[in-house]
Structure 1
Amino acid sequence: MIPARLEAYREVAPRGTLELLARLAERLRGRRFVHVNASRYGGGSPEILNRLVPMLQDLGIDSGWEVIVGDPDFYAAVRALEAAAAGREQHIEASMIRSYEETAAANGATLPLDADLVMVHDLAPLPLVRHRRDRGRWAWRCHTDLSQALRRAWHLLRRDVAHYDATVFSLPKFAQRVSVPTLIIHPSIDPLSEKNRDLSRTEVQQGLDRLGIPRDKPIVLQVAPYTASADHPGAIQAYRLAKKYVDCRLVLAGGGAADNPEGGAILAEVRQAAAGDADIHPLVLPPDAAREINVLQRAAAVVLHKPIKDDFGLVVAEAMWKGKPVIGSFAGGIPVQVIFEVTGYTVNSVEGAAFRIRQLLDNPDLMARLGGAAREYVRRNFLITRHLGDYLALLANLTG
């Protein structure tokens, strides 16, 4: 019997998916699967665990979710390590490392980590593996790109990584060479979440009205934080080149200064670049703006996502699920999602992006064909039901 929570996905998941999940889970009943990360809120691992853990429980898997806690010094150390792991120069003091390791020891002594499989997410709880119980296997799930990690930071981290039974990355190119097996699991979107559920035309129009976006012209949309790597100025340049041939609006939707240290300065630059053009709309959205993002993606004719550097970039799959062709860069996981001339276009330059904007807006049939293929590609590859199956397979493979 399919649990009610999973049954809700029957109309969106590929045929046979729910039955496959139920059969796989039947083999794994009685095994305990615990996840550990640094927060229950926000994007990344919390967003997916809030959905996946209850689904695992519904399938009869004894599944739990624990959160490591620490003081401000610990979180400062984690932020510094995350920056260094991403390749940004950081001064990491011995006191930071001491706080990082002592916090892991304190949590390791109190968290209920006796399980058949413990999956540790990202850097904050990484050293917990030093305090593993005799029972069970441990996997480290890294959601970020470590390919450019500073040498001294990776030297510190890999000492703990070596004690895991497996590592899990989103893409092969994100991984560092390690002495334990490396597995690849793409992240996923939840098609029934507030960010991705179907909206009526009235809901979309009302959402646009609240955001102050007219719908008198085709909308070109980029959803990305206000950081230098997001390349919002490049999106503005591409829009202006395309607008010489096709009339359109550009909506830039991202978080403000509260979301990242450089947000305020980048937003000011974007607003200055947009000054004098009423068809450019730089929006500052709060962290919980799932409904607004859904509205914008459904209202858009074409979606841009051309960062200089990115992680997997699930905002691409979110737009594709809504039947939108995406014009993207080659950063992060974008090329895995945007299949050239099938689900959208990958481009190397502002001029290339402008050409594809013009091509799509001039060809409604092409937009519809690519958008339809994009939705089906996401259905087969990037829905949460596939992710759930990957985690069940991981539990089966690592625990025998």
Structure 2
Amino acid sequence: MLTIHRTEREFDHLGEFFDLIGPERTRRLHDAAAEIARRLDGGTLWHVNSTAAGGGVAEMLHILLPLYRSLGVRAGWLVVGGDGRFFEVTKRLGTALYGSPGDGGPLGPAEQTAYLDVLSANAGETRELLGRRDILLLHDHQTAGLVEILGGEVSAVYWRCHVGVDEEGPASDAAWDFLAPFLSGARGLVFSVPWHVPRRLGDHRVEIVPPFVSPFSAKNRVLDEGDVRTCLAHCGLSAPTAGPPARGPLRALRHPVRLVAEGTPNPGEPSLVQVSRWDRLKDMDGVLAAFAAHVEKGYLTLAGPDPLGIQDDVEQGVWFDRCLAAWRELPPATRRRVGLLCLPMADLEENALLVNALQRSADVVVQKSLAEGFGLTVTEAMWKSRVVVASAVGGIREQITHGENGLLVADPADLSGFGTLLARVAAGEVDTGGMGARARLKVLRDFLPDREVIGTARLLDDR
């Protein structure tokens, strides 16, 4: 059930990364790595989560583990497994942590038993793996029960929460009623933004460490205009490109893309893109409604993973179907200016390259979340110097200062306000060049991998 995710390679482009962050930050990065190694004293820093692919946590760990290896820190990655009942409970927990009742099911003693039984089985497989000097850094609600179960096996256990709600309510209270008792033995807790720390955990040691993106990953690396056009053609959003076969990373483009559209973008017209899960909290149908009602010029692409390729999250199919029904109800002229794009999930590098190209091709990147943990899709777009129009929720508020490096609508349910912002950018009323440049500088300063290592060193420092 428990698996070790192997990351034997070292961090690609290490020298380029040092050049990017400069000598002072490079020195601080090396000092932080040395501090983590000192604290481990020959042990291993184990990151533990519930998936090796898909989602922001897995994407970060694919970057972080090779970086640790390159910096001389012993680190590993464990992935807990579970049965259908376990993931039903954790899905309910995750939805509740965002303040939504989700399926309305209970989080009572029976659910706690199902949750702990699976984590206990996972823990039983670590007995010969973990050493007394090791440190565990557990990620999210799927792993919180391991604080208590494995606390006596290692030097220290820390727990990190990547999700949260801006205002506590009945649903989030129920989730914390379930989780908080498991956290009493944690040496420290980590949250992405300070306002996601629930009041009941105020007496714990808490560090704020925002997530990060890698400039060199498939989702964020530089793509030239020809590469972007090739990716868009693969998605059906532009005419096929002439020339030699795809080279380099573009050779990964081999799985079909599902595009629902009656028209494609016209050359020179504004391009608006939201890339998200098909999820209620990402509000793709709200973006569609705001665009249809308020944006008279431009083409909107709503892109997400193909629900047919996601067997463990049937709700994505439900919300895609809802968007599809709303698209079909649009007037024909408006319908021709909207495409619903389902990206293949069989090859994660291919998926990441397509996301990269979609964001780089956009004049406006949209993120109209109803709730958000941090919002790495916003970070990724800002790194590409895109203007992001987003809801002022969760970690998006930590990233975007309205009018400086992006645009925010205070109330994500305000379709008129959101549509008006989109229309302003599409009509050329915003200095997209200056705003996009400031967005990239924000990511360079605050949301690259060295900040993660420095934050972890601060967390582990018990002196």
Give me the TM-score of the superposition, normalised by structure 1: 0.90
Cα contact 1:274–1:280 (8 A) shared by 2: no
CA shift at 1:165, angstroms? 1.3
Q: Which runs of 5+ in 2 are unaligned?
A: 1-9, 238-264
**Which residue type is aligned with residue 380 of structure 1?**
R
Matched, 1:218 2:270: yes
| Residue number among 106, 111, 118 corresponding to 2:121 in the alignment | 106
Q: Deviations over 1:242-273 (max 9, x none)?
A: 443xx211111123433541334323234324
1:282: which partner in 2? 340
Moved more, 220-229 or 53-62: 220-229
> Would you say the 8 A contact 2:392–2:408 is kept in 1?
yes
Aligned partners of 1:72, 1:362: CA distance in 2, in Å? Answer: 48
2:321 aligned with 1:234: no
SS at match of 1:206: helix
1:105-137 alpha-carbon deviations (Å, 9 max, x no partner): 232233133344311111222111223226522
1:16 counterpart SS class: helix
Alpha-carbon distance in structure 1 between the residues aligned to 2:330 and 2:130: 51
Give the gaps of 5 or more residues in structure 1: none
Query: 1:1-400 alignment to 2 at 5 Å?
Result: 5-30=13-38, 31=40, 32-87=44-99, 88=101, 89-92=104-107, 94-111=109-126, 112-114=129-131, 115-131=133-149, 132-133=151-152, 135-145=154-164, 147-148=168-169, 149-176=171-198, 177-178=200-201, 179-213=203-237, 214-216=265-267, 217-244=269-296, 247-257=297-307, 258=310, 259-261=313-315, 262-274=318-330, 276=332, 277-287=335-345, 288=348, 289-347=351-409, 348=411, 349-363=414-428, 366-395=431-460, 397-398=461-462, 400=463
Output the CA distance in 1 between the equivalents of 2:419 and 2:11. 47
What percent of counterpart residues are identical?
28
Q: Distance in 2 between matches of 1:268 and 1:250?
A: 14
- Give me the whole-angstrom Cα distance separating, in 2, the residues matched to 1:307 and 1:156: 25
Paired residues of 1:7 and 1:18 also in contact (CA < 8 A): no
**Matched AA of 1:322:** K
Deviation at 1:151, TM superposition (A): 3.6
- The count of residues paired between Structure 1 and Structure 2 equals 395
CA contact (8 A) 2:158 2:186 kept: yes
Measured in 1, the distance between the counterparts of 2:395 and 2:179 equals 23
Deviation readout 1:15-70 (Å, 9 max, x if unpaired): 53222211332344352311111121211321111111121122111111122233
Q: 1:81 to 1:329 in 2, by over 3 A?
A: closer
Letter of the aligned partner of 1:158 in structure 2?
Answer: A
* Contact map agreement 1:86 1:145 (CA 8 A) in 2: yes
Distance 1:357-1:71 versus aligned 2 partners, 3 A rule = closer
Q: Distance in 2 between matches of 1:3 and 1:313?
A: 24
The worse-fitting range, judged by mean Cα deviation, of 200-209 and 97-106 is 97-106
Counterpart-to-counterpart distance in 2, 1:23 and 1:151? 39
How far 1:229 moved relative to its partner? 2.6
Q: Aligned-residue CA RMSD in angstroms?
A: 2.4
C-alpha displacement at 1:92, in angstroms?
3.8
Q: Report SS of the residue matched to 2:386.
A: coil
CA distance in 2, matches of 1:228, 1:159: 29
What's the offset of the Cα at 1:14?
4.8
**2:11 & 2:121 partners in 1: Cα distance?**
37
Q: Is the partner of 1:145 in helix, strand or coil?
A: coil
Specify the alignment match of 2:6 in structure 1: none
Q: Distance in 1 between matches of 2:379 and 2:205?
A: 28
- Whichever residue aligns with residue 113 of structure 1, its letter is L
Q: Over residues 346-370 of structure 1, what are the superposed CA-to-partner deviations in whole Å (9 max), with x where a residue is unaligned?
A: 1143333333333333448711010
Offset at residue 303 of structure 1 (A): 1.4
Q: Tell me how far apart the structure 1 counterparts of residues 85 and 174 of structure 2 sit (CA, whole Å).
A: 20
SS at match of 2:190: strand
SS of residue in 2 equivalent to 1:282: strand
Is the 2:383–2:439 Cα contact (8 Å) retained in structure 1?
Answer: yes
Cα 1:99–1:324 shift into 2, 3 Å: same
CA contact (8 A) 1:310 1:333 kept: yes
Letter paired with 2:337: D
What TM-score, normalized by structure 2, do the two folds share?
0.79
Q: Deviations over 1:308-337 (max 9, x none)?
A: 222211111111111111111112211111
Q: Distance in 2 between matches of 1:211 and 1:3?
A: 30
Range that drifts further, 315-324 or 42-51: 42-51
Q: Which SS does the other structure have where 1:10 is aligned?
A: helix
The amino acid of 1:210's aligned partner reads H
Counterparts of 1:300 and 1:315, CA distance in 2 = 13
Q: Partner of 1:203: helix, strand, or coil?
A: helix
Distance in structure 2 (CA, Å) of the matches to 1:394 and 1:6: 24
Aligned AA (1:346): L
2: CA distance, partners of 1:29 / 1:165 = 18
